[in-house]
Amino acid sequence: MRIIGTVRILGILAAFAFAGQVGLAVAAEESKKEKAKEAPAAAEPGGGIQSNKAKASESPRLTRGRSCSGATPKIKKVTPDEGKTGDKVTIAGENFGEPGCVSMVSFGPGGAAKFTQVDDRTITVMVPAGKRGIELLTVTGFTGEDSKPFLRK
């Protein structure tokens, strides 16, 4: 009798252990589903609105897989710091994020320019048409903007 009782107890304990493992697996799956639920919409660097809703196969990053810095962009150097329409200018700085995180580069108010974000620290831009004189060259990133003076010849 003693052996049969021990076997029953061990069988019951094994069943509880198995149920506990299944319960943990279900709880982990539910946690993943909760994280993937829709969050409030976020502003996309291109000016649109993007939902933060993630599919189970996607990573939880914002802006379609880009990793944009949480820090405000900082312009360290503009080379050259003067130029005429069509000239290529290189902007060196930090916190620009991955390519695609900078939404705009402008010369003065309303003077959006064509630009290429090379990496987190470099942007190249063409000087757009505009009036001669000193104006602010502004880089607008995911979390803010920074400006430096630029002389348009």
2-26 pLDDT, tens digit each: 555 544 554 554 444 444 444 444 4
pLDDT at 60: 31
The per-residue pLDDT for range 81-137, each reduced to its tens digit, is 999 999 999 999 999 998 989 999 999 987 799 999 999 999 999 999 988 999 999
Cα separation, 106 vs 48, in Å, equals 18
Rg (CA), the chain: 27
What percent of the chain is predicted at pLDDT more than 70?
56
Cα separation, 53 vs 42, in Å, equals 10
| 82 bridge partner residues | 151
Q: Are strands 115-119 and 122-126 parallel, antiparallel or unpaired?
A: antiparallel
Comparing CA positions, the residue from 146, 77, 65, 76 lying closest to residue 106 is 146
- C-alpha 114: how far from chain center: 21
Fold classification of 74-152 (topology level): Immunoglobulin-like (2.60.40)
The H or E element spanning position 127 is: none
Query: Could you tell me the residue ranges of all domains in the chain?
Result: 2-35, 74-152
The per-residue pLDDT for range 122-153, each reduced to its tens digit, is 999 999 998 899 999 999 998 899 999 999 99
